[in-house]
Structure 1
Amino acid sequence: MNTSKCKEIEPIGKYISQLHRKGSVFINREVSKYGISSGQFMFLLDLYREDGKNQEEISDRLKIDKGTTARALKKLEEQGFISRVKDEEDKRSNKIYLCDKAKNVKEDVFGVLNDWNKKINESLSEEEGEILRSLLEKVCKNINI
């Protein structure tokens, strides 16, 4: 492999990493007034889409390890955003449900997500935004770690 060509190309991961960090800063700034952090944000979004899942289902859907999921859900529970209820079909498992506190900030949380999406897309045409979304989705589906 010609290493001189490798030095000329910026790695894609550099930009993905920057986007992730900038997204975390933006989301933390916007949702901190509700007592939520960017680390909890995605778990709330997932539960807004489908309430009453168990911890393993949430981990699988978000592609996040079980330990990270457990810590984020514990914090959300301590803050009164979620509650755990024993699963009637599997007594070893708990179903996770949104509390009123989480339901009351749902529109605001989705507003932050929409604002971040607008910020990402503001320098792109509509077509470029769709292409970017499609390519990122394709890459994510292809990488199974």
Structure 2
Amino acid sequence: MENSEPLKLENQICFPLYAIAKEITGLYRPFLDELDITYPQYLVMMVLWEQDGLPVTHIGERLLLDSGTLTPLLKRLETKGFISRNRKKEDERVVQVFLTEKGKMLKENACSVPDKIMKKIDVLPEDLLELKNSINKILSKIEK
């Protein structure tokens, strides 16, 4: 009989990462519902609030999303009036994404979301920073 220890759920790193991601994303839902956006749409908007006018490929790189996942997100954000997508005049293969006025105004309402999440989680900020740094370290090794 083989050693089944490696297959026990409690011995997996993937399960607690999956579970915490699912739970934390769920904490965002009521706050993002008020803004009429989903969590993935929120991520796209955060990228654009940092730098407007990015090509779709750059947004995908930042969020680790392929175009098949990103394009429907962008279409929904555009339908809601938060962004516009325009082909670059110099190279029509490149689609750039721009915030609309409504998208820029959404940022003001979204500013309170991180604080609301921190209150819900009730963990020391330094503990979250340590966790974030550890996860980023692992992510950087996976992305190579």
TM-score (norm 2): 0.85
> What is aligned with 1:43?
44
Q: Specify the SS of the correspondent of 2:41.
A: helix
Counterpart position of 1:131? 130
1:1-145 equivalences under 5 Å are 2-4=3-5, 7=8, 9-117=10-118, 119-120=120-121, 122-124=122-124, 126-144=125-143
SS for the counterpart of 1:80 is: coil
Does the Cα contact within 8 Å between 2:83 and 2:99 map onto a contact in 1?
yes
RMSD, aligned α-carbons: 2.3
Q: Do the aligned partners of residues 8 and 25 (structure 1) sit closer, same or farther apart at CA in structure 2, a change above 3 Å counting?
A: closer
1:36 is paired with a residue whose SS is coil
The residue matched to 1:83 in structure 2 has which SS?
A: strand
Q: Deviations over 1:11-37 (max 9, x none)?
A: 222221122212222222111122111
Distance 2:76 2:91 in 1: 24
Mapped to 2, the partners of 1:135 and 1:104 lie a distance apart of 34
CA displacement 1:94-133 (0-9 Å, x = unmatched): 210001111112032232134324544x334x44333212
Identical aligned residues as a percent? 28
Conserved in 1, the CA contact under 8 Å of 2:54 and 2:97? yes
Structure 1 segments of 4 or more deviating over 6 A? Answer: none
Contact 2:35 2:110 in 1 (8 A): no
Q: CA deviation at 1:8?
A: 8.1
Which runs of 5 or more residues in structure 1 are unaligned?
Answer: none
Aligned residues: 143
